[in-house]
Amino acid sequence: MIASDTLDHTSPAAATPRLPRGLAGTPDDKEMLRAAVELTRDIATARPGIYWPDMLVSVTVGYGALAGAILANSPVVAVLLGLLSALALYRALLFIHELTHIHKNALPGFRFAWNLLLGIPMLIPSFMYEGVHTLHHTRVRYGTVEDPEYLPLALMKPWTLPLFVLSALLLPVGLLIRSAILVPLGAVIPPLRKLVWERASSLSINPDFRRRPPEGDFARMVFWQELGASAWAIFILAWSATHTWYPLAVGIAVVSLVALLNQVRTLVAHLWENEGDAMTVTGQYLDTVNVPPTRAMGGLWAPVGLRFHALHHLLPSMPYHSLGEAHRRLVAHLGADSTYEKSNYPSLPPLVVRLVRSTMIRR
């Protein structure tokens, strides 16, 4: 929050409030913000010819490899196919990020198809991100206690980082418990329903975040997505109990790997250095990370445009397929010494090292 105290009223700068410390006190670079909008207007439309094939191919490869891993006679083949499945499903699942930003009429049927093919089968319906992730982009909430997707990881104890990453492995079991047990029980126990909605119905990392009740059309969408996810979760548990647990175990292992990959990506999505103050847009940008080199590994650990996460914070509605071109235009226009360049990093490992070092500094 911006400090309310000001300089001594006898000072010429008496009317100027003190800015917060660190990146929160960064004034906005208006040239960069203006260029980001003006240079990219012609590439700001989501293209169905890219979204649909990308999502459908990823889903097909992911489920095909998962079926192969379950049916494989060789442990080595099962592991290799499991890895392929995790990478493909990881890419497909991250389209949930696009669903939160694109206009609801931009890709007719895409949200429904994504939920039918991925959201419900993976027990991560789009409502778990829609209406939550956009709070992370709100200028007055980013990096504060009201941001569902922010923790000051760089300012926390060293042991919090491995705990943060490894906790993702529990996600598929938690999702099963939520959809198969807690949601049905919540239908008849209102206090439990309220608790599950507030604390276990969003893809958030801030333990202090409490989700507000859904309303209107969104509430109706939540009902149908919850019903589908709960029915599916109950079915797979019942089928596993009466037949064999092996397919479910393989599926849990694959989804755990997907969650682990996403948690590592989240670890380097920001510098995590804000201490709870509201930030300017430029401050948010500098606390966020681009890893622009076009190497194959970048597309694996940060697919669907998430290598340009800082740029995404400048242009939240820019479709993922346009971020690379937007980045090239801004670099060419603003130059190597610009504010824009300060959020560009060469690769993932140096970012992890920087974060680990930050946690080891005594504060």
Kindly list the domain boundaries of the chain, sorted by start residue. 38-360
- pLDDT (average), residues 49-53: 98
At residue 349's C-alpha, the angle toward residues 152 and 266, to 5°, is 40
What pLDDT is stored for residue 3 in this prediction?
A: 36
Which pLDDT tens digit goes with each residue over 153-208?
A: 999 999 999 999 999 999 999 999 999 999 999 999 999 999 999 999 999 999 99
Contact between 126 and 96 (Cβ < 8 Å): yes
* pLDDT band at residue 102 using 50, 70 and 90 as cut-offs: confident
Q: Kindly tell me the burial class for residue 45, based on how many C-beta atoms sit within 10 Å of its own C-beta (0-12, 13-18, 19 or more).
A: middle
| pLDDT greater than 70 at residue 16 | no
User: pLDDT digit string (tens) for 282-340?
Assistant: 999 999 999 987 666 668 899 999 999 999 999 999 999 999 999 999 999 999 999 99
pLDDT at 227 over 60: yes
Lowest mean pLDDT among 19-23, 87-91, 155-159: 19-23
pLDDT at position 105: 83
Q: What is the reported pLDDT for 25?
A: 80
363: pLDDT strictly greater than 70: no
Q: 87-96, 101-110, 351-360: which has the highest mean pLDDT?
A: 87-96
Q: Which residues contact 257 (CB under 8 A, 6 or more apart)?
A: 82, 83, 86
- pTM for the model stands at 0.91
Question: Which residue from 99, 162, 172, 145 is spatially nearest to 278, judged by alpha carbons?
Answer: 145
pLDDT greater than 60 at residue 88: yes
Residue 17 has pLDDT above 70, yes or no: no
- Is the confidence at residue 12, as pLDDT, over 50? no
Task: Give the pLDDT confidence score for residue 296 in this predicted structure.
Answer: 63
Average pLDDT taken over every residue of the chain = 91
Please choose, from the candidates 221, 230, 258, 228, the residue with its C-alpha nearest in 3D space to the C-alpha of residue 111: 221
Closest CA to 86 of 229, 352, 269, 264: 264
**Amino acid making up residue 259:** A
Name the residue type at position 208.
Answer: D
Q: What's residue 326's pLDDT?
A: 97
Tell me: the pLDDT tens digits for 105-144?
Answer: 889 999 999 999 999 999 999 999 999 999 999 888 999 9
What is the C-alpha to C-alpha distance for residues 9 and 341, in angstroms, rounded to an integer? Answer: 38
Q: Which pLDDT score is estimated for 362?
A: 55
Identify the pLDDT of residue 24.
Answer: 78
Would you place residue 23 in the very low, low, confident or very high pLDDT band (cuts 50, 70, 90)?
A: confident
**If you search the block for the tokens 């194959």, which residue do you land on?**
296
